[in-house]
Structure 1
Amino acid sequence: MDIFNLILFILLIFFTAFFVAAEFSVVKVRKTRIDQLAMNANKNAIIVQKILNNLDGYLSATQLGITIAALGLGWLGEPTFHGLIDPFVAWFGLPEAVTSTLSFLIVFLFVTFLNVVVGELAPKTIAIQKSEQIALLIAKPLYWFYIIAFPLIWLLNGSARLLVRVFGFKTNDSQEAALSEEELRLSMSESYKSGEINQSELQYVNRIFEFDDRLAREIMVPRTEIVCVYKDDTLEENLNVLKQEKFTRFPVADGDKDHIVGLINIKEVFHDVFNNHAKPLEEYIRPIILVIEHIPIKKLLIRMQKEQIHMAVLVDEYGGTAGLVTVEDILEEIVGEIRDEFDSDEQPMINKVSPTITVLDGKVLIEDVNNLFNLHLDDSEVDTIGGWMLSQISDIQLGSSIKVNGYEFKVTEIDGHQVKYIEVIRQNNKDEQVIKKTPADD
């Protein structure tokens, strides 16, 4: 065996591995991470930035390097291992033509095995798993190879571009396109699974995406639950309301809830009462925002911030009061439920009592119920699970239930015609597709 050829053969395997690792690492590496390292004056990262900004050209350089190394391996393979394989094959005493052919096949398979496994597959796997480290490591050598071989790369790359255009395709050097919302969600899920982010961070990001699609009516305090003070009542009567309820701001109604004229802050009222400077209710009234119930909450939040008003009244298409939204209601769509010392007795919107039983607040959105139980309840007419129950059972009563797709939805608390709480029980039968209605007192 020719030692010089063997050394040259090993070098060509190394060059193949280098260019394969370079190709996969620059394709796989995250540009945002490289930009971050470059901002911290990492010299190799700055070179990788240049590579990523001319990705098409540098991929052509890696392909050229792989091709040259492969041609060299093919040229050196037979003479390098011929002396080693021939005596072994000749030992079988076969005819010379058969011996020569068999020797060539063994050398060909051996060289191909080394090239594919050592030169390509192993470097590819390492480069994919350690793309950032490999990209930083190969940056300088790849950069200089590109500079040296630029005329040939320019010719080959230009020819490839021309061929691509002939078939009607566009050429694009950019590595990364903007990710869609769904792709970002998947990316964040993968980051959570790999431990890069925690569950709270993942939930915040998902809520941000959902926040953009929410309407004010989906998070409002419904009209029936609004606690008002009334302009025509005496200060003492309204003070009794303020003492009983544990809110900071109250809407002020002129006659009824369809005519809300402003809001009061109890801090101002109590401050004057405690200092014996109580004034008529009208002097405490501050402006309140009135908007249509279908306004997106992102627009409502911007308006609240701009006007520095923490409460908005939602009106329906007929001009009547539909509900009320506070800044806290909007923020809870991002950060989750916000509880203070007065909310200790407040039940969570979704309470998982056991593996088979979940208690839902009637105001939970149908969309959230569908996601929670993998159902397809219709939310085209109503928004909440309580509203959906009412739409399915006209004479709804305490204990009324509906069975759908392996789950039983049972009313456990009702206030007039408003469904307050629903118990969801997972049934054994998962194949049931038809909604079944069960009267309350059958």
Structure 2
Amino acid sequence: MSAGLWLIVGLSFAVVGAVFSTLFYSLQELARTKFEELGERHPSETTRRRVRLILEDPSRHAIATALPRVVCNMAAVVSAVFCVTRFRGVAAPEWLEVILGIFAASITVWIVGLVIPSSIARHAGEEIVLRWSWLVRGTYLLTRPLDRVARFLDRVVGRMAGPPDDPQQDAQEEVMSAVAEGQEEGRLDEFEGDTIASVLRFRDITVQQIMTPRTKVEAIQLTSNLGEVTAHIRKTRHSRIPVYEGTLDRVMGIFYVKDLLKWLAGDKTRAEGAFDLRKLLRPALFVPETKTVREALADMREKKVHLAVVADEYGGTAGLITIEDIVEQIIGDIRDEFEPAQDESDVEIDSARTHAEVEARAYIHEANAILRDLGLELPSSEDYDTVGGCITVTLGRIPAPGEVVLLDGLAITIIEAEPTHVERVRIEKSPPAPVPVPSAVTGYAAVKTDGGTPG
């Protein structure tokens, strides 16, 4: 064969390889929903059936197109070697012809078989697979005898590599990567990206992580005193209030302020006699604190309620969760006209950057993310989640306001505390330990301080 004929053969193999490369990359990056919609709109029933078969296992079809792709690329390289050999008039290819042929073929295959196909796959992959679905299915059926070999190798490699990754985690990482790319290219703004990220994290968040803790629950004890109820409403300004009897662990139901308005307007419950809060209560929805937010939201939608009581493992009341708490996990903080404006952060750093004041309810990992800028870090443990929990677990008791706790090189001053919990603390580096020095008079060790001479 002449050099020109070898050139034509090599280019033909490169073009055919480019077709299979385009199909390979398109199948790897296939958007299932879009491809399915394109298939359903196609007038041919045969094409629609092929689309459904490809969607059953796109990865296997991609592997099937990889074989002819590799064969064509190798054939293009060999053809290039013989083309250079004939062009130089050599009877058999020597090392120079081999190097020149491989170099020329590599450049051609890189452009025709990699750069162009991958670009086409990114922009019109689903349309390409739909148009060439007959070739995809045909290649898959022809290479099916090798499918067992591929599955066997897949199992062997899987055992060597360890347990497979979580498919949901892989999908989440893929979406987050697409979101980051969209933000960099300006197709998504920061709010849209944050919202998508929040939705993806939604399935991993538990009720305990976002609930209003028991110490912050503004409930009312069961009473027949209308004045107490109206005073509580004016104080808390909540439209739904948990009602308990004796202790907060015995929640009797949820009191809706609008039910009181109906009673005051003279509905049938008022006709039955004097005011009785028990008669106005609605059943409370209880959810365990280990339940995911997504599951709790499903329960609240089913029961058509906006508030649920969170129960701990012992059956006591751990806190409250509302629809608003759940929505805030997606779109951020929501404040109504009655809520005072305040800094979203539970950590406030002073202007001199020497210490920080921290709400005791703040989670350890969130507080540390800010405290590290000051060279401060609270110890983490499975025994607690919050800053207040760290302090009480370390001491084994509730500290009093003004008390200073020394912990891992930190001085933690209790700013605010109740008999049952810590509310706010100041965190700074602990002062250096006093240095003992010998006393010339007594011979005993004295403590040297920064403010004067040792005594």
Q: Do Structure 1 and Structure 2 share a fold, with TM-score over 0.5?
A: yes
Distance 1:319 1:55 in 2: 48
1:282-321 maps to which residues of 2 (within 5 A)?
282=277, 283-290=279-286, 293-316=289-312, 320-321=316-317
State the secondary structure of the residue aligned to 2:334.
coil
1:380 paired residue number: 382
CA contact (8 A) 1:386 1:420 kept: yes
* Cα RMSD (Å): 4.7
Q: Give the length in aligned residue pairs.
A: 403
CA contact (8 A) 1:181 1:209 kept: no
Distance 2:38 2:257 in 1: 52
| Worse-matched range after superposition: 33-42 or 323-332 | 33-42
1:118 paired residue number: 108
1:29–1:358 Cα change, 3 Å = farther
CA contact (8 A) 1:57 1:157 kept: no
2:71 paired residue number: 67
- Of 331, 336, 341, which residue of structure 1 is paired with 2:332? 336
1:202–1:404 Cα change, 3 Å = farther
1:168–1:8 Cα change, 3 Å = closer
Deviation at 1:28, TM superposition (A): 3.9
1:39–1:204 Cα change, 3 Å = farther
1:85 paired residue number: 88
Question: Gapped runs of 5+ residues in structure 1?
Answer: 87-98, 172-176, 428-442
Deviation at 1:340, TM superposition (A): 0.6
Distance 1:16 1:295 in 2: 52
**Alignment-mate amino acid for residue 105 of structure 1:** W
Matched-pair identity in %: 17
1:254 paired residue number: 245
CA contact (8 A) 2:21 2:65 kept: no
- Of 320, 326, 342, which residue of structure 1 is paired with 2:322? 326
1:412–1:384 Cα change, 3 Å = same
**Alignment-mate amino acid for residue 16 of structure 2:** F
**Alignment-mate amino acid for residue 414 of structure 1:** A
2:213 paired residue number: 222
1:7-46 maps to which residues of 2 (within 5 A)?
7-39=8-40, 41=42
State the secondary structure of the residue aligned to 1:194.
helix
- Of 94, 107, 121, which residue of structure 2 is paired with 1:104? 94
Distance 1:259 1:312 in 2: 14
CA deviation profile, 1:21-80 (whole Å, cap 9, x unmatched): 44344334444443344345499x9677766657646744553365256446635743x4
Instruction: Give the TM-score normalised by the residue count of structure 1.
Output: 0.70
State the secondary structure of the residue aligned to 2:302.
helix
2:232 paired residue number: 241
Distance 1:145 1:191 in 2: 27
CA contact (8 A) 1:366 1:385 kept: yes
Question: Gapped runs of 5+ residues in structure 2?
Answer: 158-163, 431-455
CA contact (8 A) 1:230 1:238 kept: no
1:162–1:62 Cα change, 3 Å = closer
- Of 365, 371, 380, which residue of structure 1 is paired with 2:363? 365
1:281 paired residue number: 276
1:174 paired residue number: none
**Alignment-mate amino acid for residue 363 of structure 2:** L
1:273–1:41 Cα change, 3 Å = same
Instruction: Give the TM-score normalised by the residue count of structure 2.
Output: 0.68
1:417–1:113 Cα change, 3 Å = same
CA contact (8 A) 1:413 1:422 kept: yes
Deviation at 1:248, TM superposition (A): 1.0
